[in-house]
Homo-oligomer: A and B are copies of this chain.
Amino acid sequence: MRPSGRQPDQMRPVTIETGFAHHAEGSALIRVGGTEVLCTASVENRVPAFLRGKGSGWVTAEYGMLPRATHSRGLREAAKGKQSGRTQEIQRLIGRSLRSVVDLPALGEISITLDCDVLNADGGTRCAAITGAWVALRLALGKLVAAHVLRQLPLRGQVAAVSCGLTEAGPVLDLDYAEDSAAAADTNFVLTADRRIVEIQATAEDAPFMEDSFTAMFGLARQGVSVLFDAQTAAVNAAEGH
């Protein structure tokens, strides 16, 4: 039995609320169970130095966690004076994941920064961040099309992420904090709606694991992301009044 009483292949409830951030070109407050991440997309008419004059756009991400998003208060990274290795690893993952579905040349010399800030944490924050960031990005791109800055959406697909783990209950989908901190292995799957792989990060926490465990987790992830793709689509449609 899982601590939450969920079935092995059962996601936590997912909601995506758009427009929470008043000023951002796109924003999504995603809730996956007790995890809440505010994702904003900020559009700027410039690109990093390495892209200047090449006619291509850029998508990047930053990740943060409010000090008391967690059970006990964590140090504020701005006060410590640096981002932890974990933070950098996560924001690099979010950036790569989103770039994999954007047609950067079609975007033109525009940068979009995806800020993903965790307001409440209960496991799976990086996956929620990727899933929410896609909605924020999609809405920002929609505005650029509506404003005739772009002729069409420079998007090649839809991306979402979910974690799976090996627990005492076997392979399970969408770990919460209680499961995550006790799991023997933890795997994050970043997948597209057309069933392709964007990124897989499988990590043995305590002891190396067998390939069939990996395969079982992959199968659960396929199920899980389909729920997320639906939630993303519904949120975008609601926001754009379709």
Binding site for B on A (CB under 8 A): 20-24, 27, 34, 38, 40, 42, 44, 62, 64, 66-73, 76-83, 85-89, 91-92, 96, 100-101, 113, 115, 117, 119-120, 122, 156-157, 159, 185, 191-192, 194-204, 206-211, 213-214, 218
Q: Would you call the interface of chain A mostly helix, strand, loop, or mixed?
A: mixed
Question: Known: A34-B22, A68-B23, A79-B83. Is A199-B204 also a contact (CB below 8 A)?
Answer: yes
Across the interface, A23 reaches (CB within 8 A) one of B44, B64, B70, B117, namely B70
Interchain CA distance A120-B23 in the complex, whole Å:
8
Interchain CA distance A89-B130 in the complex, whole Å:
18
19 contacts between A and B (CB under 8 A): A21-B69, A23-B70, A23-B120, A38-B119, A40-B67, A78-B78, A85-B88, A100-B207, A101-B208, A119-B119, A156-B207, A185-B197, A191-B208, A196-B204, A196-B209, A197-B210, A197-B211, A199-B201, A200-B200
